[in-house]
């Protein structure tokens, strides 16, 4: 068994034990007829997967702590770990994340972007910082 397959299997075991249902809702954006019109988001697809959610690590010197000090994160943000093969990034890709199978709380990825962990060129998992959408939807949705 290859090293990347071993890491993938271990991440899948962690996800099976500590994971919770996550719904990723994909949106496509359309602009109005004038260059400065607002973008409108419409649901284009959704996927139900399993992900692992953690609170931020406030230990001095940790990555989370540094991002908190820089003002890029706030203390109520969370970390979400997803399988590396899940489509989450792209120039025109907007996503909203919900926990649970019903109408759970909605979250959006923070523009820091997903951090992909690779071994031998294979994506093992992606780590996202997510923030709760207090209105329940993305701007323009």
CA atoms within 13 A on the CB side of 72: 14
Q: Domain spans of the chain?
A: 3-109
Specify the pTM.
0.82
Kind and range of the H or E run holding 16: helix 3-18
Pairing of the two strands 94-99 and 20-31: antiparallel
Contact between residue 20 and residue 51 where contact means Cβ atoms under 8 Å apart: yes
Q: Does domain 3-109 have CATH number 2.40.10?
A: yes
Instruction: Return the sign of the alpha-carbon dihedral for residues 13, 16, 19, 23.
Output: positive
Full pLDDT tens readout for the chain, 141 residues: 788 889 888 888 988 888 888 888 888 877 766 666 677 777 778 888 889 999 998 888 888 889 899 999 999 999 999 887 777 766 567 888 888 766 778 898 887 767 888 888 888 888 889 999 887 677 666
């Amino acid at each position: 068994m290859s090293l990347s397959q071993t890491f993938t299997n271990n991440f899948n075991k962690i996800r099976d034990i500590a994971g919770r249902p996550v719904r990723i809702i994909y949106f496509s954006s359309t602009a109005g007829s004038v260059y400065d019109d607002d973008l409108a988001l419409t649901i284009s697809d959704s996927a139900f997967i399993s992900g692992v959610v953690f609170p931020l690590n406030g230990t001095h010197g940790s990555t989370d702590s540094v991002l908190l000090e820089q003002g890029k994160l706030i203390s109520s943000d969370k970390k979400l770990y997803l399988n590396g093969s899940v489509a989450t990034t792209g120039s025109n890709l907007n996503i909203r994340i919900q926990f649970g199978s019903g109408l759970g709380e909605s979250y959006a990825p923070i523009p820091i972007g997903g951090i992909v962990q690779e071994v031998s060129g294979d994506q093992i998992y992606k780590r996202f910082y997510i923030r709760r959408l207090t209105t329940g939807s993305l701007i323009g949705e």
